[in-house]
Structure 1
Amino acid sequence: MEDITRGGQFLVKETKCETVFTPEDFTEDQIMMRDSVKEFVDKELWAHKDKFEQKDYAYTEECMKKAGELGFLSIAVPEEYGGLGMGFTNTVLVCDYISGATGSFSTAFGAHTGIGTLPITLYGTEEQKQKYIPKLASGEWFGSYCLTEPDAGSDANSGKTRAELSADGKSYKINGQKMWISNAGFCRLMIVFARIEHDKNITGFIVEYDPANPNGITLGEEEHKLGIRSSSTRQVFFSDTVVPVENMLAGRGEGFKIAMNALNVGRIKLAAACLDAQRRTISGAVKYANERLQFNTPIANFGAIRSKIAEMSASCYAGESATYRATGSIEERINAREAEGNSHQEAELKGVEEFAIECSILKVAVSEDIQNCTDEGIQVFGGMGFSEDTPMEAAWRDARIARIYEGTNEINRMLSVGMLIKKAMKGHVDLLGPAMKVAEELMGIPSFDMPDHSELFAEEKEMIRKLKKAFLMVAGSAVQKYGPDLEAHQQLLLAAADMLIEIYMAESTVLRTEKLAKSKGAENVKEQIAMAQLYLYHAVDIITQKGKEGIASFAEGDEQRMMLMGLRRFTKYTNMPNVAALRETIAAKVVAENTYCF
């Protein structure tokens, strides 16, 4: 257990490529699972995209039932409750490939299998699990998650919905209003958060909903949204809704804990849910570029288009690399805890919680990458991309929500740095020692020795080590200056978070590619090498910019000059890559294959 890298330690502990999990490590069973999911998506979802854009909520529900019949809703559910009891990687893999066709189904699926089911799986009593989980796993019932209120969004614990204990102590009456509730239109079970008396923290309840006997529950009209048009989204009103005391989830006042841990899982699954959407967007853009003639040649032959295709591909490849790296880390932690005697419930809770920093990083990075990817997809299509007759505009609209739900990207940026600092305070990640070494290095005479770059990825790994020093320099000085008041300096936190995000994403991409090159030979993965180098090039640029922004926000005079000098040292290439050549290497492969092919 002690040898396993802890969450956040990627910043201060070197990771060997052999230890990371990558998509190339899928087992035969996982590949079969992936292919069966893709078959379902192509047949039931992609072939009927128009229904989802026309707000056919009934078809979304029908597809969810079919997904239940095929077992896709029960991947993470233990076998004793009617599930397939598969590992965390399988859960993420299914979430990845089932989400590529339409954001409407992706949202319904994610809300049901994640925040609609997991709170009971992880926190429910044995009686609650036996009663509800089999129905949710099979698709007989669908779940929803009632947390957000008109005045309680990011500040989830400020909800005003109340739960009052009856005089006989046998039930609670819930009164209040919830909004933006996914699956509300066809759910039979709601995870509802309410405050008992004047408790500091909210409490979770399992609330059954039967339209024929609504028990004081009223649904608002379907919301008209920018995207995810056939995802049922309604307000839910509770008026003296009676809930038996045995339907309290976990203990009194533990609702906020349930909400936060459910969101940790939701964040990595949201990142996964953006991946196949990127693959399909890239493939659609490439096919169009190969078919569209201008000046008597396919536009795929033009450098401006090839640059876009290369950048879209590198971004998707990086998202896959980082998402499955974190997935593997979480599964490894879950298995280690189970081996030590933890129940599966406790192991999964603690395993995901351990890597909450990485989950927040992934949520931000991949949700922004899918937005950029779909935006460029529209651009490749030109005027046709703006038309509803092509899939690009729907993909762009669906992508927009990913930066908002499961905690806005701004919240997740601040969380990632905040959680890292808290881990350091608890001694779980040694930030202070490495930060002090960086400070000493800044005061010393810089080395002019040229590192040995003969080994594959030696320069890239050296650059990543330097980028980590840049973050430690900025974050360490900021903590020293502001201490616990740092959380009030949100713009500084956002800059530091962007540095942290790029380090994890770039390192994950390099590690995946190094592992691939060692197994297949560098000459056989030259496009993957180009994508890793291209992503790192952009990461260096972002870290340079955000480092300057962060330093200027709190340092002055000699201190500022010293730190800016250090930042230049830590972001300087020995050999600057030929970015145009990298893009051409990537684009040549993707255009020739006529699809995203990695």
Structure 2
Amino acid sequence: MLQKGGNFLLEALNAADVFTPEDISDEHRMIAGTVADFALNELAPRVEELEHQPAGLMRELLVKAGELGLLSADVPEEYGGSDLGKLASIIITENIVAGGSFALGHGAHTGIGSLPIVLFGNEEQKKRYLPGLASGDLIAAYALTEPNAGSDALSARTKAVLSADGKHYILNGEKMFITNAGFADVFITYAKVDGDKFTAFIVDRNTPGFSLGAEENKMGIKGSSTRSLIFEDAKVPVENVLGEIGRGHVIAFNILNIGRLKLGAGCSGSAKMAIGLAAKYALQRQQFNLPIAKFGLIRQKLARMITEAYAAESVIYRLAGMIEESMEDKATGAEIAAAIEEYAIECSIAKVFGSEVLDYIVDELVQIHGGYGYIQEYPAERLYRDSRINRIFEGTNEINRLIIPATLVRRAMKGQLALLPAAKALAGEVLNLRAAAPEEDGRPLAEERTMLAMAKKLFLLVGGQAVEKYMDKLAREEEIIGILADLAIQIYAMESAVLRALKAWEAGPAGAQMKLDLARAFVFDHYPQLEKWAKEAICFLFDGDMLRTQLSIVKRLCKHQPADLIGLRRQIAARLLEAEKYVV
């Protein structure tokens, strides 16, 4: 059963209906193996060289990737692609990360650079550009950000005016922080026609009046090209308008949604790679005549790292499966846009959660390495620097946190999501609300499933009270919006982790123990934070007797018996260290 976007807050989903990494096909496993081999043999040996941006190297590697079919997964077969689908695309993204900055060049090309033409181009545009983009003969870039328009993309100042002969749009303005700019052939660019109609254009590198700024000196991802684009009476043919005049936002925002999912996948792959490095180093590094892997605090770190990575991976594949299914048989731009937009909330969750999990994991990777983690000769140092940009890419995490509740409320107001009736029904029983006793049904994780159900009630409680108090002015109360977003993110992550473990248990209990332990550890580790956030919001929303009443309800909803997390993490760490890599 395909769940509608945002509905995870209102209804329980059967484990059988959730897509997990264990559900990938043999073909997908073969693709993963091909990508992993390419990353290990062709990319990893040249990571350090790539950091210095030698002329032509990134493009050379992208062409090699194209020869293996690693640029064409999203491109239909009739235009020279392999049309492998979103799952294959996610698998490629997750496994290409061993190439360091190459992953960024690859992602910018295959994702936000090529997808606008794949999904929204007309027939002539697809025939002209997609075969080259699929093979690597053409390299793409995506140009949305401007000096004064970052997260607020619609405030762009780049303008487009139709020429007197009606054959060109004359573009003037500047884009900045554009990945692949130094060597790309095709730029998906946005400008306002006549100063107000936000529109997408396909800009060729040889366009008269188009030029590039200098390379930016960046904190991380140093091997990627990042430059500004300068338009000075640039003459773009009218046939290079992408989609409809004034409808560029439909392309921009939906491409960003897919970009957020892919970014989350890249973070998941990097997190798993970092865990392997941490485990191997902990086993090799000796202090006090013992490998540091023998020390309890190091084992606790390793266990928490893999627990977070397991949840992030579960989120990514659950969402990828839903998007894959929702886009089946979609042909027109409007249908495709609607299918992607349906999961805008979950895409923002994947981006925020994945990027913050990776930041946590690489920070602990450096810590486990000690002083060596600060030295450039060790990969921990580069992974730490490279990770930081992910919380800024594809809309900052703060902007994505605003998007999640805003989208939920907008859909609720339109009657597309039964959020308000659910909150109203909850308010009617508010004085009797309390945590339910776990229902023993013969399946594992009974307590965790009950806690998850209470977490959803907690979201409805806080969200319902916030909407009732502020109504259409709620958007101004960003701190409350942020809390609601954090609650939704953690609920989705907990549910994804639990459902994946349950599905594995239903397929065969003997092989599911690690997933069950990871799901249990994740839920019990994060659940107390939900109560803290809820109390913080309630203390802002109420005072006096009403405050005391609401706080008591929150306390009752969040009541649970703590788990032995120390013992659980010891078991998790032991399995990780035995495998010396991410293993679930």
TM-score, shorter chain, exceeding 0.5: yes
Q: Measure the CA separation in 1 of the matches of 2:435 and 2:73.
A: 53
Which of the numbers 312, 333, 336 marks the counterpart of 1:319?
312
**CA shift in 2, pair 1:561/1:386, >3 Å:** same
CA shift for structure 1 position 538: 2.4
Correspondence for 2:281: 288
Contact 2:436 2:450 in 1 (8 A): no
Residues 27-63 of structure 1: per-residue CA shift (max 9 Å, x gap): 1000000000000000122222211333336322211
Are 2:415 and 1:427 aligned? yes
**CA shift in 2, pair 1:84/1:460, >3 Å:** same
User: What is the 5 A alignment of 1:350-499?
Assistant: 350-444=338-432, 446=434, 451-452=439-440, 455-499=443-487
**CA shift in 2, pair 1:253/1:295, >3 Å:** same
CA shift for structure 1 position 381: 0.4
User: What is the 5 A alignment of 1:101-500?
Assistant: 101-102=99-100, 104-199=101-196, 201-210=197-206, 215-335=208-328, 338=329, 342-343=330-331, 345-444=333-432, 446=434, 451-452=439-440, 455-500=443-488
Correspondence for 2:514: 527
TM-score by length of 1: 0.95
Contact 1:334 1:350 in 2 (8 A): no
Q: Measure the CA separation in 2 of the matches of 1:164 and 1:455.
A: 64
Contact 2:277 2:581 in 1 (8 A): yes
Which of the numbers 538, 541, 546 marks the counterpart of 2:533?
546
Q: Measure the CA separation in 2 of the matches of 1:121 and 1:446.
A: 50
CA shift for structure 1 position 450: 6.7
Aligned-partner SS, 1:132:
helix
Q: Measure the CA separation in 2 of the matches of 1:450 and 1:120.
A: 50
CA shift for structure 1 position 345: 4.9
Residues 385-440 of structure 1: per-residue CA shift (max 9 Å, x gap): 11001000100101000000100000001101111111111222111222123222
Q: Measure the CA separation in 1 of the matches of 2:114 and 2:428.
A: 50
Q: Measure the CA separation in 1 of the matches of 2:67 and 2:14.
A: 41
Contact 2:144 2:189 in 1 (8 A): yes
- Amino acid of the residue matched to residue 571 of structure 1? C
Contact 1:331 1:351 in 2 (8 A): no
CA shift for structure 1 position 256: 1.8
Contact 2:2 2:17 in 1 (8 A): no
- Amino acid of the residue matched to residue 95 of structure 2? Y
Contact 1:216 1:239 in 2 (8 A): yes
- Amino acid of the residue matched to residue 471 of structure 2? G
Are 2:555 and 1:568 aligned? yes
Q: Measure the CA separation in 2 of the matches of 1:29 and 1:50.
A: 32
Are 2:40 and 1:42 aligned? yes
TM-score by length of 2: 0.97
Correspondence for 2:12: 14
CA shift for structure 1 position 161: 0.9
- Amino acid of the residue matched to residue 272 of structure 1? A
Are 2:65 and 1:67 aligned? yes
CA shift for structure 1 position 116: 0.9
CA shift for structure 1 position 215: 1.3
CA shift for structure 1 position 351: 2.0
Residues 116-145 of structure 1: per-residue CA shift (max 9 Å, x gap): 111111111111111111111111011111
Contact 1:162 1:176 in 2 (8 A): yes
Aligned-partner SS, 2:190:
strand
Correspondence for 1:58: 56
Correspondence for 2:96: 98
- Amino acid of the residue matched to residue 274 of structure 1? C
Structure 2 stretches lacking a partner, 5+ long: none
Contact 1:314 1:532 in 2 (8 A): yes
**CA shift in 2, pair 1:54/1:445, >3 Å:** closer
Contact 2:483 2:537 in 1 (8 A): yes
Question: How well do the aligned residues superpose, as a CA RMSD in angstroms?
Answer: 1.5
CA shift for structure 1 position 207: 0.8
Structure 1 stretches lacking a partner, 5+ long: none
Q: Measure the CA separation in 2 of the matches of 1:528 and 1:448.
A: 25
Correspondence for 1:513: 501
**CA shift in 2, pair 1:347/1:79, >3 Å:** farther
Q: Measure the CA separation in 2 of the matches of 1:447 and 1:13.
A: 17
- Amino acid of the residue matched to residue 34 of structure 1? A
**CA shift in 2, pair 1:384/1:557, >3 Å:** same
CA shift for structure 1 position 524: 3.3
CA shift for structure 1 position 169: 1.0
Correspondence for 1:501: 489
Aligned-partner SS, 1:202:
strand
Q: Measure the CA separation in 1 of the matches of 2:352 and 2:428.
A: 33
- Amino acid of the residue matched to residue 140 of structure 2? G
Q: Measure the CA separation in 2 of the matches of 1:472 and 1:303.
A: 39
Contact 1:100 1:274 in 2 (8 A): no
Q: Measure the CA separation in 1 of the matches of 2:343 and 2:313.
A: 17
Deviates more, 1:465-474 or 1:157-166: 157-166
Correspondence for 2:75: 77
Contact 2:87 2:324 in 1 (8 A): yes
Are 2:31 and 1:33 aligned? yes
Deviates more, 1:575-584 or 1:451-460: 451-460
Q: Measure the CA separation in 1 of the matches of 2:406 and 2:385.
A: 31
Deviates more, 1:222-231 or 1:528-537: 528-537
